[in-house]
Amino acid sequence: MLVPSGIHHVTAIASDPQRNIDFYAGVLGLRLVKRTVNFDDPTTYHFYFGDEIGRPGSLLTFFPWPNAHRGRQGAGQAAVTSFAIVPGSVGFWLERLLKQGIEFEQPVTRFDDERVIALKDPDGLLLELVSHQRVEQCEPPMDLGAEAQVPSMHGIRGMYSVTLWQDGHQQTAELLTGTMGFRLAREQGSIFRYTSDDGRPGSIVDLRIVAGLWPGVMGAGTVHHVAFRATNNETQMSVRSELESGGYNATPALDRDYFKSVYFREPGGVLFEIATDGPGFTIDESAETLGRALKLPAWLEPRRFEIEALLPNIHLPIDLPGPNA
């Protein structure tokens, strides 16, 4: 059983790379902690957005395929990605979204103690900003100086939850409460909430029953997979063994340079990943210059000239000097 430490990252699909950066690093104020490529399609970027050093639990990542067709949210998907904010920041975010021209829904109360602002990114990805008193226990993001787009006191404090849309819940629930180590915490209408024992932001998976809804279609504006944390390689391999014993088709551990990954599909069809916490994003560039240069795995370095020629030009919301400036 995986010791439940919550979400490692969520990976989604986008279309225009620059628009993706402008929204997540600009409007939402997350840090682009790594610009690399999709290891399975090296002519496509892979962006990692998170806190100042990209800690597990703060990360939303994207495969931005220019001109990608728009996907469709539906059953069998991780449909909603939620970020954590402190209660005192709700007004700040409403004003900021309004000034930035971002459409959003007025805050609503969920589970009696959450205030939820629902919005979409430019590709239609369903997002939420969720405020709860427990978020105040999280350290505010580090002040990024010239790179900062949002004041630290109001900054996003990592993932809050993901919401899976499913036709039914029994088999997925058994996986979450068995091998994945979560527990059923609350129910409200068609939503079943699963959490790790500590209840921190980023440790919540909501399972929403959408019986009869059309199946989701992968494309821009949809989630590709959800990754859960394993503290080390040994834990990851133990979970993989347990998954295989339970009849799941789990991949071998794949080296993603910044962590190792094991993938499998949960019973409702969502692609899950078990990702190690380390080694992290500072193994190939300093904390100060994260995200400013294109980083490639060693096996792709011989193709750097070709890859850079094929990738679209991009820039951060504020131009900053590169690591060698």
Rg, C-alpha atoms of the chain: 19
Q: Which two tokens stand for residue 17?
A: 């790379």
Q: How confident is the model at residue 325 (pLDDT cuts 50, 70, 90)?
A: very low
**CB-based contact 21:34 (threshold 8 Å):** no
> Is the model's pLDDT at 256 over the cut of 50?
yes
How many whole angstroms separate alpha carbon 184 and alpha carbon 205?
A: 10
| Mean pLDDT across the chain | 93
Q: How confident is the model at residue 34 (pLDDT cuts 50, 70, 90)?
A: very high
> What pLDDT, on the 0 to 100 scale, is given for residue 136?
85
> What pLDDT, on the 0 to 100 scale, is given for residue 37?
98
Measuring CA to CA, which residue among 224, 223, 231, 222 is closest to residue 274?
A: 231
**CB-based contact 258:280 (threshold 8 Å):** yes
Q: At the top level of CATH, which class does the domain 7-310 belong to?
A: alpha beta
- Domain borders along the chain are 7-310
C-alpha dist (Å) from residue 48 to 21, 104, 280: 10, 24, 12
Choice among 114-123, 147-156, 197-206, 283-292 with the minimum mean pLDDT? 197-206
> What pLDDT, on the 0 to 100 scale, is given for residue 99?
96
User: DSSP of 216-228, one letter per residue?
Assistant: PB-SBTSEEEEEE
SS3 letters for 100-134?
Answer: CCCCECCCEEECCCEEEEEEECCCCCEEEEEECHH
> What pLDDT, on the 0 to 100 scale, is given for residue 199?
62
> Is the model's pLDDT at 322 over the cut of 90?
no
Segment 215-226, tens digit of pLDDT: 999 999 999 999
